[in-house]
Amino acid sequence: MIVDLSDTTTNGVAKALVKIRDEGGVVTLGRVLTLVISTTLGEEEEAIEAANDASREHPMRVIVISKAGADAPSSTVGDRLDAQIRVGADAGASEVIILRAYGAVGDDEEGLVTALLLPDAPVVAWWPGETPEVVSESPLGRIATRRITDASTQPDPAAAIRHNAKTYAPGDTDFAWTRLTLWRAQLAAALDQPPYEPVSEIEVTGAEDSPSTVLLAAWLRMALDAPVNHGITTRANGSSGIHGVRLRRPSGDIELERDVPDVATLKQPGQPTHDLALPRRGLRDCLAEELRRLDPDELYGQVITKGLALLEQ
């Protein structure tokens, strides 16, 4: 079911939700959190699709604030709020409220969502594209338990990661870190086998547009206390993201290389070569993983604040 509300208010949206629940039997029982997505007009559908898919694991209310981008021309429709409510098959296991804010109406993001938040439920804020200067001090960031950004969508991903380090507050996270989960698991499993030798040198390579490469290098530098050489490689297949990791040990190198999209090759001394499924993770997988924990990700905090600094020494 999709209900459109033109030139409305948040109070009008709240009343429409009550009416839908009373007439159609749609209830919020079982919703475990509120996900607030701040995005740009016309670019909200990809984020909504990811939220709908993730809601099958995390039933939630999704509130989307969609505004004109910072460099967009002034709106020709004045100051107004158009809304759309999606429930049932059109919203996965969630209920989706889209608030399209024009003009000055979009300036008060906290005021737009306050009346629509689930009572006594955690709030997670997600910026798929443009992000505030300091997310934890933004209107949505102040009311959120977790704050999710994505450095890979920024004009300069590497600069975005460095900015995240300077402005980090507990509860912040970034999908550039979430995309590392499979890589970290494979490398940890390889190191958890004999011989248990120290790593003397680390090499991490990846695409120029990959902030995850920098974060992986920072994590390895901090976890293994070994010098790291990280840089950019160019692959004929044009693959983005991380390309490979080499861990040097006295008995031989551990190599995890992704030469083709979605498949990596693991080489270890004295063992056969293995091909492993190692795809670049999509928005749905990253979002679902971040919603599994609503407390601050302390390891990410250490990597973004301490690990990056170690790389520059």
217-245 pLDDT per residue, tens: 999 999 999 999 877 565 544 457 899 99
Model confidence band, residue 27 (pLDDT cutoffs 50, 70, 90): low
Confidence of residue 29 (pLDDT cuts 50, 70, 90): low
The answer to whether 117 and 144 are in contact (CB under 8 A) is no
Average pLDDT over residues 8-29: 80
Burial (CB count within 10 angstroms: exposed 0-12, middle 13-18, buried 19+), residue 30: exposed
- Alpha carbons 70 and 62: distance in angstroms, whole number: 23
The pLDDT confidence band at residue 75, using thresholds 50, 70 and 90, is low
91 band by pLDDT with thresholds 50, 70 and 90: low
DSSP string, 63-117: EEEEE--TTSPPPSS-SEEEEEEE-GGGGTTSEEEEEEEEGGGGG-HHHHHHTTS
CB atoms under 10 Å from CB of 301, counted, come to: 18
Q: Is the separation of the CB atoms in 39 and 64 below 8 Å?
A: yes
Distance CA 158, CA 211 (A): 5
Through-space distance between the first and last CA atoms of the chain, rounded to whole angstroms: 56
Return d(Cα 24, Cα 167) in angstroms, integer.
45
Counting residues of the chain whose pLDDT is more than 70, the rounded percentage is 91
- For the segment 107-121, what is each residue's pLDDT rounded down to a tens digit? 999 999 999 999 999
For CA atoms 34, 35, 36, 40, the dihedral sign is negative
Residue 252: pLDDT above 80?
yes
- Of the two residues 60 and 88, the one the predictor is more confident about is 60
When pLDDT is cut at 50, 70 and 90, the band that residue 246 belongs to is very high
Looking at residue 236, its pLDDT comes to: 43
Q: What was the pLDDT predicted at 73?
A: 55
Q: Indicate the residue type of 267.
A: K
Res 312: pLDDT: 82
* Residue 24 confidence (pLDDT) above 90: no
- The Cα 284–Cα 95 span in angstroms is 16
- pLDDT bucket at 20, cuts 50 / 70 / 90: confident
The DSSP output letter for 195 is S
Q: What are the residue ranges spanned by the domains of the chain?
A: 2-174, 181-277
Reported as half-sphere exposure (CB side, CA atoms, 13 A), residue 285 has a value of 11
CA-closest candidate to residue 39, choices 124, 128, 154, 157: 128
Q: What percent of the chain has pLDDT over 90?
A: 74
Are β-strands 33-40 and 123-126 bridged in parallel, bridged antiparallel, or unpaired? parallel
Residue 139 has pLDDT above 70, yes or no: yes
pLDDT in tens, 260-312: 888 999 999 989 999 999 998 999 999 999 999 899 999 999 999 999 999 98
Could you tell me if 55 and 44 are in contact, meaning their C-beta atoms sit under 8 angstroms apart?
Answer: no
8 A C-beta contact, residue 221 and residue 312: no
